[in-house]
């Protein structure tokens, strides 16, 4: 297996400083070369299996990111019909798109079927309604809940028994009854146990569960293991060992094929794995505030732009790129929102001065995508760096954007 890859590409401090000077802050910056590198890691790791990768675009849906990932050869995983339409607009073919919604009205499934994309169903009522509507004419995937607790945070664990996601294994008889009465065909079984999964055994545990169910579904073509691959956020942290996972999954499929005589594809939906490390979030230090308790660095952003530290207690490595040789000093990095929006407590940074630019690493996934206009603050711009060429791929909001869809009552 060819696993020899060049070192992961990074944008340099000088590049980031220049980008901040050119486009201003706050600003999201994405490195296309890093996305390509991450995709190469996946392709190399799963060479021994018939593996297909669908980018989970909920992580970052800018149309240029979608087009670039399509150019690499990936498919697209969508959780709303609007994401499906974005994917088609970006040039993905319907067969390259997987629609995996949750708690969605049936009209979105009808719209997805009209577009011809792959459909993944995760609850019995919709499964029955879809079967009665389409019968055997539109084979689907079924998302199961394997009752596996995994992931870096309970908020991103989706495969345990009390989760809202997937159909319980205990309800397999109900699934089979629906298939019998409606003639609906199932071409794939899907699980997704959560995000930030470091232990490859979690995927093997889920795979073993699905292999035992294959005989119940005679039209089965594929097994979908979702994703949740761990990416490192700290300097001394490791991510999922993709080479090891690829070998283990490849061996499991080989043994299954030898024992059953059935050859199945394997699908994955990496989101954070592809775009997290490509992203940099640049902010400016508005104020350095000394108090008897600690020293705060207040920046020109808040959880309206990057909510992960507040929502998930997520760690982002932060650097002062304006003064990289400054003396190390302890700061708490906070935002300008009228809430307790703390990005980092008691973090050692090179001395921060008002006007310095700080960079948050690993900001490509669920950064801009989860941003808002809370406090009537404006959403930031986005820049994509491709082969050292900088492209503005989203303008920052203007004041008029805050009013764009509001309708004033003239009598007030």
Distance CA 394, CA 33 (A): 19
Burial class (CB in 10 A: 0-12, 13-18, 19+), 222: middle
Catalytic option among 57, 103, 278, 338: 338
Characterize the bridge pairing of strands 328-334 and 75-78.
unpaired
Pairing of strands 381-386, 389-394: antiparallel
By DSSP bridging, strand 295-299 and strand 265-268 are unpaired
338 given a catalytic annotation: yes
Count CB neighbours of 156 within 10 A: 18
Distance set, CA 259 to CA 156, 346, 389 (Å): 35, 56, 52
Token pair of 264, please? 């199945």
Dist CA 19 CA 263 (whole Å): 49
Question: How is residue 243 written in tokens?
Answer: 């080479």
The residues with which 282 forms a beta bridge, in sequence order, are: 27, 359
Helical (H) or strand (E) element with 284: strand 279-290
In contact, 302 and 286? CB cutoff 8 Å: no
Question: Which residues are designated catalytic?
Answer: 338
């Amino acid at each position: 297996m060819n696993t020899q890859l060049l070192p992961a590409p990074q944008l340099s401090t000088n590049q980031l400083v220049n980008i901040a000077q050119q486009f201003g802050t706050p600003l999201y910056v994405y490195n296309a070369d890093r996305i390509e590198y991450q995709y190469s890691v996946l392709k190399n790791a799963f060479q021994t299996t018939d593996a297909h990768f669908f980018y989970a675009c909920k992580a970052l849906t800018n149309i240029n990111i979608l087009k670039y990932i399509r150019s690499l050869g990936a498919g697209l995983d969508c959780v709303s019909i609007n994401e499906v339409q974005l994917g088609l607009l970006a040039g993905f073919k319907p067969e390259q798109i997987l629609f995996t919604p949750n708690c969605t009205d049936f009209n979105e499934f009808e719209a997805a079927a009209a577009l011809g994309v792959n459909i993944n169903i995760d609850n019995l009522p919709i499964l029955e309604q879809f079967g009665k509507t389409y019968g055997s004419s539109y084979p689907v995937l079924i998302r199961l809940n394997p009752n596996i607790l995994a992931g870096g945070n309970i908020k991103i664990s989706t495969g345990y028994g009390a989760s809202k996601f997937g159909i319980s294994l205990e309800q397999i008889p109900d699934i089979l009854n629906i298939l019998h009465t409606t003639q609906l065909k199932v071409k794939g079984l899907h699980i997704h146990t959560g995000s930030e999964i470091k232990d490859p055994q979690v995927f093997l545990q889920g795979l073993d569960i699905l292999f035992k169910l294959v005989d119940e579904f005679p039209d089965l073509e594929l097994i979908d293991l979702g994703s949740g691959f761990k990416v490192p956020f700290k300097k001394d942290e490791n991510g999922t060992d993709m080479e090891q996972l690829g070998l283990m999954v490849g061996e499991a499929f080989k043994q299954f094929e030898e024992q059953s005589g059935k050859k199945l594809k394997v699908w994955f939906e990496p989101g954070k794995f592809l775009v997290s490390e490509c992203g940099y979030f640049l902010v400016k230090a508005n104020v350095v505030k000394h108090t008897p308790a600690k020293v705060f660095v207040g920046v020109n952003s808040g959880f309206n732009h990057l909510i992960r530290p507040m929502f998930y207690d997520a760690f982002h490595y932060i650097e002062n790129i304006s003064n990289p040789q400054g003396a190390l000093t302890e700061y708490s990095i906070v935002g300008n929102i009228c809430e307790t929006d703390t990005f980092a407590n008691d973090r050692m940074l090179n001395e921060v001065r008002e006007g310095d630019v700080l960079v948050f690493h690993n900001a490509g996934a669920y950064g801009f995508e989860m941003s808002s206009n809370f406090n009537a603050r404006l959403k930031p711009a986005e820049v994509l760096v491709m082969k050292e060429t900088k492209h503005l791929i989203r303008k920052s909001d203007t004041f008029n954007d805050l009013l764009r869809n509001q309708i004033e009552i003239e009598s007030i």
